[in-house]
Structure 1
Amino acid sequence: MASIILGIAAVVSIQLFSQNLTDNIQRQSKSLMGADFIIDSDNVPNERVQAIIDSLQPDAKEVNFVSMIAFPKNRGTKLVSVHAIDGAFPFYGKMETQPSTASANYLDNDGALVDATLMLQYKIKPGDSIKVGELTLPISGTLKSMPGSNAISTSVAPIVVIPFQLVDQTELLQFGSRKEYQFFFNQPDADLEALENRVEPMLDKLDADLDTHTSTSRRLGRRYENVAVFLNLAAFIALLLGCVGIASSVNIYIKEKLQAIAVLKCMGASRKQSFLIFLIQIAGIGLIGGLIGSAIGVAILELLPYLLQEFLPFDVEISISAQPLLIGVLLGVFMSVLFALLPLLRTWYVSPLEVLRMSSSKPAASRKARYGVIGLILIFLFGFSFWLLREALFALSFIGGVIVTFAILAGIAIGTMSVIKKYFPRKASFTTRQSLLNLFRPNNQTVVLLVAIGLGTFLISTLYFTKDILLDKAELGQTEEKANLITLDVQPDQLEAVVATNADNQLPIIDNIPLVTMRMHSIKGKLVNSIRTDTTTQIRRWILNHEFRTTYRDHLIPSEELVAGNWIPKQENRNDIKISISDNLAEDAQIGVGDAVTFNVQGVLMKTTVGSIRKVDWANLQLNFSIVFPTGVMEDAPQFNVLTTYAATPEQSAGLQQDLVRDFPNVSIIDLRQVYTVVEDILDKVSWVINFMAFFSILTGIIVLIGSVSTSKYQRIKESVLLRTLGAKNKQILKITALEYLFLGILGSLVGILLALVSSFLLALIVFKEPFLPSGVPFLVFLPGISVLVLAIGLSNIRSVLNSSPLEVLRKAV
């Protein structure tokens, strides 16, 4: 019952949370967006887009962009997301501020609302001032939250809200600046489906986009669907471990009841009756376990919103529905019966003559019946996995992985018993020989214990190793050869002065990268506008609408590898320009070496041919590009520059940022060390969630372990009493038991960790494509910890033998 309770609790809590999340997204979709629908564009809307917007009569508008800001009070600087708003946005939900009146007054007072964490970090309060570009304005209030934001996104770029009419005074929206214009509509009676069908195709052709609150709801639902799938799998693994406990416990229970079953059959009980007696017992235990597990699942549900609040853009309102509770109860009964069937089959084949026989041989169950039950178990596991994953191949892969892991652990356990039996150390001490004999004696628990210990250790160790891979992948190599400060949006007339400012701060320029913005005009001779209307095209839509930031240079960089074609370092002939593209762009645009692509470069058409394809390591924290031109053809195009440098200390970084923000308000500075800190913080939060879910699996594994060890308690007591009767001392009995369980604990946890090492190595090699340096935590914590736990449980079983006389214990056992 304890084995099934935790698995059911995990499944019920996750099912309820997923259902609540879906309901909340649908119910709060307007509050998440703040409007009924939005039209957005990466540039100032052209006449045709503006005509469509005006015809729909927008109720508010916004331009948002990323920029450096400064706090004159303490000379602090920070990269933020500036939102310049005009109108009474949001129409749904609310902008939470301190004081509460600031959200309504900042527009009239020409003030700013600043992210709450940023205010605390820089020790700023309402009434102080903030400098955004060339504009200095008062802080009207602290911004706690606004529609669409969450803790993760604001930790990367905190939000600052200013009035729309002040944007021009900042002088930040210059050539090359990344910005987004949004127009908000408060039209609750609008037919959003008709709007999507009629207006969205027109806007797509004009490089604009329409978002409705219903489409946002669908998108968010898909995003959190993956989270729900992971959580469900974690719960399912906990349930599987519980099933191992069920099968183990029933197996030992039925072994002990075989003579009683034979007596029942001597008294006239039929096969069906004796089978149903125990089946009903197991079903009753499953029902009680399902009820208790469902109740615990409801309690856990209250914790999950707090656990995942960092990743959600809204507060989840919890409600309890009957369906997951009913599923939990039925699952408890069904899985208890299903996984108890194999050992229960033995009751069917018990002969009444077993009363008279002293043989320890087991009644043989029908091979056809055994295979039928195993088939039922596999069908159920596949069906349940498919229900969770919604993908047959994924479900098969998951079940295959579970079966392989179980098979490896069981194979090692059986192999260990065979090796010990074959190469038994007959000259070893009595206590050592007796402890090793216990590993393959009748009613031994070696296979079940090693599977339970190994699987639990495997799961948690894999999580730890995977976390290390992710952190290593994000880690910055802090060397002078690798830049950790990036200065963006440097205009041509500012370049010399910015370089001089770096020199004044004794920070030499590592890279001076020119950037040219452009869009694709045609692909392989077919106009992009025609491709948009082609429903059969395999070209990804982002290619058609994307504004590419390209560069030109005569060499490859360390994060690139040439995979096709020839690298052209320099070219003077502008009639047949050979470009290099990334492998992902080649795949998404369905183009290869020799294909023609025409670009629109600030109104000028430029014909190019794909000369080479590069494999780009986008995870490398340096400036990578999808499209690279050779030198000699783009130098006269409208462009701006990105400069990189290396600051050895935070003080050097802060000094440069202060000077640049003071003299060049339009430039933005990214400190990669801060980015790494944010990434590490996010990964820590993700790891905490993963470890919390793994806790169910580990705790279930421990309960299975306790149950499996404790099930044969009375068999162990009889053996220990006989040893005492024959003259064995308490110290010898203690040592025999300790050695047996210590061996099981060490072997099980070690095999689990080694399997985790293999799986993590494959993840690093195939998925993350990174070198794997394993953490020492599983070896230093889990290996000794689980071994000691197994030892403690085993020793607790013989406490009554050590504290009582042999006669007293024998009387209790009888």
Structure 2
Amino acid sequence: MAWRDGKASISRLMLFMASIILGIAAVVSIQLFSENLKQNIKNQSKALMGADFIIDSRQLPSKKVQAIIDSLNVAASEVNFVSMAAFPKNDGTKLVKVRAIEGDFPFYGTLDTEPIIASSQYQKSGGALVDATLMLQFNLIPGDSIKLGKLTFPIIGALKSVPGSTAVSSTVAPPVLIPFRFIDDTELLQLGSRKEYQYFFVATPKTDLELLEKKIDPILDYENADLDTHTSTSERLGRRYDNVSKFLNLAAFIALLLGCVGIASSVHIYIKEKLKNVAVLKCIGATRKQTFLIYLIQIAGIGLIGGIIGSSIGVGLQYAFPYFLKGFLPFDVQISITAQPLIMGILLGVLMSVLFALLPLLGTWYVSPLEVLRGTDENLVKPRKARLFTLAAILLFIFLFSFWLLKDALFGLVFTVGILITFSIMAGMASLFMKVIKKYFPSNWGFTERQSLLNLFRPNNQTMVLILAIGLGTFFISTLYFTKDILLAKTSVENNSENANIILMDVQAEQNEAVVNTVISKGLKVINNIPIVTMRMYQIKDKLVNDIRKDSTSTMNQWILNHEFRVTYRDSLLVSEELLEGVWIKKREPGESILVSISDNIARDADLEIGDQLIFNVQGVLMETSIGSIRKVDWGRMQVNFSVVFPIGVLENAPQFNVVTTNVQNEVNSADLQRDLVKKFPNISVLDLRQMYTIIEDILDKISWIINFMAFFSILTGIIVLIGSVKNSKYQRIKESVLLRTLGAKSKQIIRITALEYVYLGILGSLLGILLSLISSQLLATLLFKEPFIPSVVPFLVFLPGITILVLIIGLSNIRSVLKSPPLEVLRKES
């Protein structure tokens, strides 16, 4: 019976199915890609690192660290740092990451070079391997040269890929590989240079890497070094990309929930029209259970077919994700199909279809044949306990599924409550809107205008569901649009002469005056000339840092203990800083104690308060200080910020280097300045914030594209829900339209009534969605991004009229068949 009845209503059941297909496709595609990503990271963990494990240090290894390195039989080593490179062929300059390597690195994976033989020749021949994209940018070919510091190297080949490098990091500072033996001759490593020494090892088959890390790493931490195994590195990498997949899964889940709203509304109309059939079946002997199961089987079948189709589409969609995420991944993802997401998609289709259809399906259980056959269903029993149980089951499912996606019960609960609040607000506003219209009905309006408003209260009108579908889709896309604006504003660099867009790093004390004169000679203004002194924590309160490292019960963040702080001294706060506690000390007078200012993240991670004692090791000299103030620092601003700031009158005679900033208006002047500086001061690194901003904007554009791609699923699902709701109320509209035409209404009047009705629905739904997105975006800006939120007018100018017009078109597309239906046909009940 379920099959026979379903065949007669196949076109309408297809719309139910379409509501669920897109959500299933989104979830399955992301699940498949996440599974592939995890498996690729696991399989390629050694190739990502190039070795079994690495020991790294920000300074030359101490005697103890060197003894450990020697005992483990180091296979290769390198020192890497960022520096300016010059290209004599065309006077070009570029910030690059120099990797000076000794040994046959990598031991897993390959150095992908052009020509291929260059990867094995550059060590012996004393040449350089230069990033392939960089060579294209500067029109370089093998045989040309690259100047690093005091040395000029022949370019042996183009470097296409190297273990441990991503497309994003290569864009900021492209890698250049040179033999380790030439590093001293370049004279690039100066006081304050940010460098990293790495030692690569190949483990024997018997080596237990987890035991090695557990035994050796604490000793290395004590000596300001670190040990990383390929397994621990792949786990960290997996967690990093797991956050991306969690967000995308939630976006897909929202699309799925939107489809479920469509199923609930469509089934509600469908079942209501089937109540007479149910009554007839009960009159001829069918039981409650049989009539209930007939339509339950139909809905389950819809979910099953929708799950299969959605899973099939998801398989195809997952192939698009590696293309859009390739800039964030240090390897190419090999796609393979796993069974778990496919089974999950099919089961999800059945479960969610049945779960969200239960509320309207319960009506068949309590149908009174006599009431329906008499032509009224107003007195149908509405099972309160069963409805509450079903609602509780739906909320429990949403919580469990979001908990499974996020792996966090609190986040799952917050997400579920957020969904419930959003639905409740929209439903409440829609209900309030209808009550206001009823109370203040404009009785003096014309016939068509009055009738269009009355249609909102028509039986089977689905006003509430339509507003929810339109509103949720608009809410999601508007929130994403506003969030994108917040992110872009957080990384923006205003193009005016008061904001630095060129930063000169590692300027030595003896070079400072000459560098400043070079900048000024170009007609540029020196905006900042910041002195920097390097130091480490020696004692925190009454405990030595070394003792804290040994204390297994200590909860202090390890970075505080191991970090080499770059600090400055000045007499004023920056615009990116806000004083939270204490008093800002401008200058220290002779004989007074030294009061420093620390950032709030240090205060939090080291559990520090105003007045606590800190002793710093300033390059061998111990300096006792106290905390005078705690600052909130906006690290998102593209400028030089500091965790620790000293007052004037303390560090002036300490070994130091400077950071000089200026503003350059165009690329020509920037290139001219960089060429001059590289020729005169090869150790200085130049950071062009304009270029950095372009890179960040490109990254954000990719992220935004992916987010909007997921939002598209929600909007498209909402449109299908809308089409389904309109189509399913088609017969009710035919009857009303015929009655109006019988009473003398013209086709133009009927079209106008319908058009106005859908304009009301479109405006109300999209306006509610945009207004709610303003609230959510303000909360995101305040609580998460800590940024001022300036709303864009785009959602109001584009989304509001665009979605309203879309709703209108869908509504009017159904009216054509209404106008063509002969009145007599409907009155004879032959439609």
Q: Compute the TM-score of the two structures, normalised by the length of structure 2.
A: 0.96
* Structure 1: runs of 5+ lacking an equivalent: none
Q: Is the 8 A contact 1:381 1:399 kept in 2?
A: yes
2:96 aligned with 1:113: no
- 1:721-754 deviations in whole A, cap 9, x for unaligned? 2222222221111111111111111211111111
2:619 pairs with 1:592: no
1:727 equivalent to 2:714? Answer no
Q: CA offset at residue 781 of structure 1?
A: 2.2
Q: SS at the partner of 1:86?
A: strand
CA-atom RMSD, angstroms?
1.5
C-alpha distance in 2 between matches for 1:185 and 1:811: 88
Check conservation: 2:466, 2:722, Cα contact below 8 A: yes
d(CA) in 2 for partners of 1:608, 1:92: 48
Shift of 1:360: 4.3
Correspondence 1:243 to 2:276: no
Is 1:11 the counterpart of 2:36 in the alignment?
Answer: no
Contact 1:538 1:590 in 2 (8 A): no
Q: Can you list the C-alpha shifts for 1:476-517, whole angstroms capped at 9, x where unaligned?
A: 122222222111111111111111111211113222111110
Match of 1:475 in 2: 492
1:291 counterpart residue number: 308
- Can you list the C-alpha shifts for 1:116-141, whole angstroms capped at 9, x where unaligned? 22122222222211111111111111
Instruction: Say which SS state the counterpart of residue 107 (structure 1) adopts.
Output: helix
Higher mean C-alpha displacement, 743-752 vs 182-191: 182-191
1:157-172 mapped onto 2 (5 Å cutoff): 157-172=173-188
Counterpart of 1:154 in structure 2: which amino acid?
S
Equivalent-residue separation in structure 1 for 2:329 and 2:162 (angstroms):
13
The count of aligned residue pairs is: 814
**Which residue does the alignment assign to 1:53?**
69
Aligned pairs for 1:412-427 within 5 A: 412-427=429-444
> Post-superposition shift, 1:355?
4.2
Counterpart in the other structure of 2:18: 2
CA distance in structure 2 between the partners assigned to 1:465 and 1:559 by the alignment: 23
Query: Contact 1:800–1:809 (CA<8 Å) still a contact in 2?
Result: no
The one-letter amino acid paired with 2:415 is F
Q: CA deviation at 1:650?
A: 2.4
Offset from partner CA, 1:612-634 (integer Å, 9 cap, x none): 11121212222111111111121
CA contact (8 A) 1:572 1:633 kept: no
Q: Please state whether the residue corresponding to 1:592 is helix, strand or coil.
A: coil
Q: Distance in 1 between matches of 2:94 and 2:335?
A: 37
Distance in 2, Cα, partners of 1:80 & 1:59: 25
Structure 2 gaps, min length 5: 1-16
Aligned to 2:585: 568
Aligned counterpart, 2:513: 496
Asked if the contact 2:371–2:379 (Cα under 8 Å) also holds between the matched residues in 1, the reply is no
- In structure 2, what is the Cα distance between the partners aligned to 1:264 and 1:395? 44
Q: Single out whichever of 181-190 and 292-301 deviates more from structure 2.
A: 181-190
Contact 1:96–1:146 (CA under 8 A) maintained in structure 2: yes
* Contact 2:734/2:821, CA 8 A, preserved across alignment: no
Provide the residue aligned with 1:312 in structure 2: 329
Secondary structure, counterpart of 1:568 in structure 2: coil
Query: Are residues 326 and 362 of structure 1, via their aligned partners in 2, closer, same or farther at CA, if it must alter by over 3 Å?
Result: farther
- Is 220-229 or 611-620 further displaced after alignment? 611-620
**SS across alignment from 1:106:** helix
1:655 aligns with 2:672: yes
Q: Does 1:179 align with 2:195?
A: yes
Picking from 709, 728, 732, the partner of 2:726 is 709
Which residue of structure 2 lines up, in the alignment, with residue 229 of structure 1? 246
Q: How big is the shift at 1:810? A: 6.1
Matches of 1:193 and 1:563 in 2, distance apart? 43
Counterpart pick for 1:125 among 141, 163, 168: 141
User: What aligned pairs does 1:67-86 form with structure 2 within 5 A after superposition?
Assistant: 67-86=83-102
Match of 1:684 in 2: 701
What amino acid sits opposite 1:783 in the alignment?
A: L
Which residue in the other structure is 1:30 paired with? 46
Instruction: Give the Cα–Cα distance (whole angstroms) in 1 for the partners of residues 323 and 633 of structure 2.
Output: 38
Paired residue for 2:814, among 793, 797, 801?
797
Equivalent residues of 2:276, 2:373 under 8 A apart: no
Match of 2:4 in 1: none
Q: Work out whether residues 263 and 355 of structure 1, in 8 Å CA contact, stay in contact via their aligned partners in 2.
A: no
Percent identity over the alignment?
Answer: 68
User: Which residue of the partner structure matches residue 40 of structure 1?
Assistant: 56
Q: Answer yes or no: is the 8 Å Cα contact 1:421–1:440 preserved in 2.
A: no
Partner of 2:80: 64
1:331 maps to which of 317, 328, 348:
348
Tell me if structure 1 keeps the 8 A contact 2:595–2:627: yes
Provide the rounded CA distance (Å) in 2 between the counterparts of 1:457 and 1:285: 27
Q: TM-score, normalised by structure 1?
A: 0.98
Whether the 8 Å contact between 1:490 and 1:640 is mirrored in structure 2 is yes
1:371 matched to 2:371? The reply is no
Alignment of 1:218-617 (within 5 A): 218-573=235-590, 576-617=593-634
Equivalent AA in structure 2 for residue 88 of structure 1: D
CA displacement at 1:362 relative to structure 2: 5.0
Change (3 A) 1:9 1:813: farther
Matching residue within 740, 753, 756 for 2:770: 753
Q: Is the Cα–Cα contact under 8 Å of residues 77 and 661 in structure 1 kept in the other structure?
A: yes
SS in structure 2 of the partner of residue 517 of structure 1: strand
Which whole-Å CA distance do the structure 1 matches of 2:645 and 2:208 have between them?
Answer: 44
- Aligned-partner Cα distance in 1 for 2:435–2:580: 51
SS of the residue 2:123 aligns to? coil
Distance (whole Å) between structure 2 residues aligned to residue 487 and residue 27 of structure 1: 41
- State the alpha-carbon separation in 2 of the partners of residues 623 and 362 from structure 1: 72
Change (3 A) 1:813 1:34: farther
Shift of 1:801: 2.8
Residue of structure 2 in register with 1:98 after alignment: 114
The residue identity in structure 2 corresponding to 1:744 is L
Q: CA deviation at 1:339?
A: 0.6
Counterpart residue identity of residue 462, structure 1:
T
Q: Do the aligned residues in 2 keep the contact of 1:15 with 1:324 (CA within 8 Å)?
A: yes
Q: Secondary structure at the match of 1:695?
A: helix
In structure 1, how many angstroms separate the alpha carbons of the residues matched to 2:286 and 2:487? Answer: 61
Structure 2 CA distance for aligned equivalents of residues 717 and 101 of structure 1: 77
Distance 1:19 1:506, change over 3 A: same
Question: Quick one: distance in 2 between partners of 1:233 and 1:355?
Answer: 43
SS in 2 for 1:45: coil
The amino acid that maps onto 1:63 is V
Letter aligned with residue 176 of structure 2? V
1:689: how far off?
1.1
* Equivalent in the alignment of 2:685: 668
- Shifted more, 195-204 versus 445-454: the winner is 195-204
Match of 1:216 among 202, 226, 233: 233
1:607 Cα deviation from its structure 2 partner: 1.2
AA paired with 2:755?
A
Distance 1:485 1:813, change over 3 A: farther
Contact 1:111 1:140 in 2 (8 A): yes
- 1:538-579 deviation line (CA, Å, top 9, x unaligned): 211000000000111122222222222222211244673211
Q: Which residue of 2 aligns with 1:139?
A: 155
CA contact (8 A) 2:299 2:354 kept: yes
Structure 1 residue 765: deviation in Å? 2.0
Query: Which whole-Å CA distance do the structure 2 matches of 1:380 and 1:83 have between them?
Result: 52
Deviation string 1:298-321 (CA, Å, 9 cap, x unpaired) is 111222221221211111111112
8 Å contact 2:733–2:818 — kept in the other structure? no
The answer to whether the Cα contact below 8 Å between 2:774 and 2:791 also exists between their aligned partners in 1 is yes
CA contact under 8 A between 1:62 and 1:83: conserved in structure 2?
yes
Residue in structure 1 matching 2:802, options 785, 790, 802: 785
For 1:94 and 1:679, how far apart are their aligned partners in 2? Answer: 29
Maintained 8 Å contact 1:714/1:813: no
Contact 1:247 1:343 in 2 (8 A): yes
CA deviation digits over 1:189-215, x for unaligned, max 9? 222112112111111111111010000
Deviations 1:526-545 (A, max 9, x none): 11111011122121100000
